[in-house]
Amino acid sequence: MLHFELSQNQQRKHQQLTLQYDRISQQAAAFSEEKRTFVSLQSQISNIGASTRIENALLTDIEIEWIDTVLKTEPHLEYQNRERFIKNKLAKDKSRSIEEVAGYRNAIQLVFSAPEMFFPLSISQIKGLHREILRFSADANHYSGDFKKIPNTVIETNHATSQTRSVLKTAAPGIITETAMQDLLTWYNQEIVENSFTLAVAVELVFRFLAIHPFQDGNGRLSRLLMHIALLSPENSVFRASVPLCAIDRSIEQTRKKYYEVLQRCSGGIFSPEPGDYSYGFFLDYIFEMLLKSPAHFDHYCTKYDRYQALSATAVKVLDSFKNRPEQPVATRELMADLPIPRRTLIYSLNSLLEAGFIQRAGKGPGSRYRLIF
């Protein structure tokens, strides 16, 4: 059973959430395969960007979309075969972020493509996901997929000031971490089947995992994968068809400071071997808030697809030209050099893309520059 009780208000919120995500499932079921794939990919890119940026990665969603396109264009080539090309294209200070994005991309695709593989959930599967997350990070080879051997702490970093603060003192390495993880998975594999409040089970799973913090690095990213796994695990869950379309991690990124405050409030800032010692209700309320916001991302991606379909063939060519320059401001003359179309046609296409929300403009007249918007 859960180590906390849901209030009547929380039970009502759970029902409200179920109805909202069931609506998304039904709506998506009526989509064409092309539209469903488009919305799913946009959500996946946003999840990858958000989850890695929460852990201080630097890549924007536009850059991640470009990386995803590069890797999909030649799917027979793995990331290692395209690594030099990708890193040469993007800023030199983003090398580590690229590695983190490539690893998390692989891991989240595993989870979304076959959620049934992760029930029952095992230590070996969690270690496997951890190896996948850190697969392309050379400096993590010595600890990837292994539980921590030295103590660690959940740290919040202020991007503006670079200051850090301790949020949660985690479980000690060795037998305490190993026992806590085994107890957690034994509890979860039974509770996710027996409890109809799927989100509440997911919240306890994720919070206890974060309090243990079993790996030297990558725990935050892995915790968000575990949230997805728990929501998608029950075969009859309304979340299975809808959560991959809603970019939940994006909502968490947008409230990052509150996320760390809630973690500290639930735990009092320290790991406990007794699961009942935590105040899970604060984290549950926070995740309720995030999931109630996330359908707005789904609606945005649906609108984006419809607007893309309404573009002229020339506007699509102009948009594709932008996509070869991730995060670079582009002048009209540069587009003219790329595309064999009259200037008047190009200006008309740029205005169409501006109006549809695919690009933004900085400056006026000949000095104008255009940039992609995700």
Domain boundaries, the chain: 8-302, 311-372
Q: What is the mean pLDDT of residues 127-141?
A: 94
Q: Report the top-level CATH class of 311-372.
A: mainly alpha
Query: Would you tell me which CATH number, out of the four given (1.10.540.10, 1.10.290.10, 3.40.190.10, 1.10.3290.10), belongs to the domain 8-302?
Result: 1.10.3290.10
Query: Would you state the pLDDT for residue 90?
Result: 77
Average pLDDT score, the chain: 92
pTM, 2 dp = 0.91
Q: What is the pLDDT of residue 363?
A: 87
Write the pLDDT tens digit of every residue in 256-315: 999 999 999 999 999 999 999 999 999 999 999 999 999 999 999 999 999 999 999 999
| CB crowding 196-220: b at 16 or more within 10 Å, else e | ebbbbbbbbbbbbbbbbbbbbbbbb
The yes-or-no answer to whether 8-302 and 311-372 have a common fold is no
Residue 75 has pLDDT above 60, yes or no: no
Per-residue pLDDT, averaged over 338-358, amounts to 95
Tens digit of each residue's pLDDT (9 = 90 or more) over 169-195:
999 999 999 999 999 999 999 999 999
pLDDT at 6 over 70: yes
Q: How confident is the model at residue 74 (pLDDT cuts 50, 70, 90)?
A: low
| pLDDT attached to residue 327 | 72
